[in-house]
Structure 1
């Protein structure tokens, strides 16, 4: 009973979060003891994905029929002042008889209009809204584009069902980025603190380290296949990490742009071909420039023009491969339901390393006699 009383006092989104962390039986017991209206709101929110617009929205907001007058709204605010006191109110929302969102009403306008004025006459019609199934990347992108403190949430029929607040989206976004950062650093679970059991921490890290061993063995196998070429032209060894790193940098730039466009809703998985063409265009220019620069450095440093041509061409071509992967893979991962920020990096690094090593060493094998000169 005490737990239900405490949960009753929380905003609806926090109620859903707290109940979602409880065992199903315990959560149901708490719901049974809560106020019926509060319990209904909590049950409704638990039906949405945790970080979707529906999962993050609050059900505490002001809404009125469009035929109501200013006087009716003012009277309602006075009569229910105790209930509304804890609401984070910026606007009131105007709806049709069937619940469809029609407009938004600035509360200050209530003070400046005659008391018999209908809400439909003073509301801001057709306000922006988000659907209840919009994911966190899309809602974060929405608030990046629009400087709102909150936005109405509607269902498939256009009915108003809640309000999504910028502060809640920002908090969820920060938490997601923290987990993604840890996973990128090899904390596979996305969550680790040093008070956790030693074996649990070790197991989470070993999963990532083991995968990296396998990926690096693939790159090592390519180098091993060209041992004779490396032995004949030892100068190539100095340029292998440069080509790998430069290509990786170009690929990471493409990854960053793709992930940002996914966040802002500018790009979708279906745009993969458009994104690829755009990245190849940029990659061709940058690949030629950095290839010429590295080729010139190799020529001047080692005094061998063939070495400069091999190194420069390999870097230019590997840059094209890197930006193609970096631009398209995040979109494909999103389509597969994977986190692009976490999985794109290992794929990009491994493939660019393998392709870079293969291009340099295979070209060197063709021109090995000229490179010895």
Structure 2
């Protein structure tokens, strides 16, 4: 307990020192304090400051540290922080990042601010960023970095070792890449291992011991990249265009980050949170985004409530039914969410497409029939024993079985249909599923109860 209290006191003291250093605009003290923190801790402290103070800190600390902090932050937040800086300072920071990160950050910024930064960047680097920004985020082209250990097919081992011996930023950014061999037209013709390079005579041409590399096209989706890195122990894989020209390298780390970001994004969307929301963002922006989703749910829930209103007489006559209404809708909703989760997973992996609607439905309904009957029998027995009415048990059991079959059908198929019409299935599937399963669950229970009224009262 004393250790816990001591840790809290230490954190508070460090935060106070940071605040004092920010107020004093003391760059040296800020650097010393940030050096005591991990990147995630430093980012938390940064986001606890006011907007003006955040900009001041990013201006006072070294461009390298500022770049590390922005890379640690969610993309949208990092873009907002960059937009608040003077253009010259933003350029200093972005030049410390790899080209793939630069492209992501520039792509998330407002057009005017992004163009201002690109105009002040090195012309070649700016051209790389513009080129990378043309690719979709979840493709090899969108994830690759343009810094490539590229060697001409006329070079010898000695030539490459001289390149490696240089104290050069570009060499540092190769991140242990193997040398990729290209011809005069820039086409990738081979790759040599670093180990092979060091164990071969200096005068040997690279083409004499290079091997044919595995490559991916710039349009290759994230799912294909995931499969490749799962199967092979590559740290990176070269990206080429249709003519075989070397464009860049996509790293294992970049693919892992993209997979994690996609998973987090889809989970947030299913909960009605759109974008990279963090609590340091403006309150009005967070409120507006959430309300857009919540207000739509009000309309959908009013539709579901209207079903209950239409069967008021049945509810008054058999009040015990009201106990089971939320159970039927909730249990079938859970089954539907399982189906949504599987479809979203298969969509992200490229295992299903919108045209596979019938096949997906047949697979889901087969599971829905089995689970619906099993759950229906279970809750039917509970209702019978609890309320002493076999007729009530039959009504509740049949309603849950039918609603489960409907829920898995909707959960499995709706994401595909939304994908076909260009809507985001992660955002829309959840509210639609919830409303339909509630409405249908109420309808099944109340309509079956109305039909069996003579045996219920």
1:350 paired residue number: 435
Deviates more, 1:183-192 or 1:321-330: 183-192
Partner of 2:36: none
Q: How does 1:119-158 map to 2 (within 5 A)?
A: 119-120=206-207, 122-129=209-216, 131-134=217-220, 139=225, 143=229, 148-158=234-244
2:124 to 37, 41, 46: 37
CA distance in 2, matches of 1:245, 1:346: 13
> Is 2:253 aligned against 1:167?
yes
Task: Please tell me whether the aligned partners of residues 96 and 102 of structure 1 are also in contact (alpha carbons under 8 angstroms).
Answer: yes
Coordinate RMSD, CA, aligned? 3.1
Report what 2:160 is aligned to: 73
Superposition pairs of residues 1-373 of structure 1, within 5 angstroms:
2-3=88-89, 4=91, 6-21=93-108, 24-65=111-152, 68-78=155-165, 83-95=170-182, 97-115=184-202, 119-120=206-207, 122-129=209-216, 131-134=217-220, 139=225, 143=229, 148-188=234-274, 191-193=277-279, 196-197=282-283, 199-372=284-457
Secondary structure at the aligned position of 1:125 is classed as coil
Q: Report the CA distance shift for 1:194/1:40 in structure 2 as closer, same or farther (over 3 A).
A: closer
Which 10-residue stretch deviates more, 224-233 or 243-252?
A: 224-233
**Unaligned 5+ residue runs, structure 2?**
1-86
Shift of the alpha carbon at 1:345? 1.1
Q: Cα 1:22–1:190, aligned 2, differ >3 Å: closer, same or farther?
A: closer
Per-residue deviation, 1:251: 0.9
8 Å Cα contact 2:410/2:433 also seen in 1: yes
| Kept after mapping to 1: 8 A contact 2:149/2:177 | no
Find the aligned partners of 2:170 and 2:280 in 1 and give their Cα distance: 43
Give the Cα separation in 2 of the matches to 1:318 and 1:195.
41
Please identify, of 326-335 and 12-21, the stretch whose mean Cα deviation from structure 2 is larger.
Answer: 12-21
Q: Give the Cα separation in 2 of the matches to 1:79 and 1:244.
A: 67
TM-score normalised over the length of structure 2: 0.71
Asked whether the 8 Å contact 1:153–1:161 carries over to 2, the reply is yes
Indicate the larger mover: 48-57 or 223-232: 48-57
**TM-score, scaled relative to structure 1:** 0.85
Number of matched pairs: 370
CA contact (8 A) 1:141 1:265 kept: no
Judged with a 3 Å threshold, the aligned counterparts in structure 2 of structure 1 residues 47 and 225 are, in CA distance, closer, same or farther, namely same
Contact 1:290–1:315 (CA under 8 A) maintained in structure 2 = yes
CA deviations 1:249-300 (Å, max 9, x no partner) are 1111111112222222322333322222211121121112111111222222
> Please, which runs of 5 or more residues in structure 1 have no aligned partner?
none
Contact 2:144–2:239 (CA<8 Å) still a contact in 1? yes
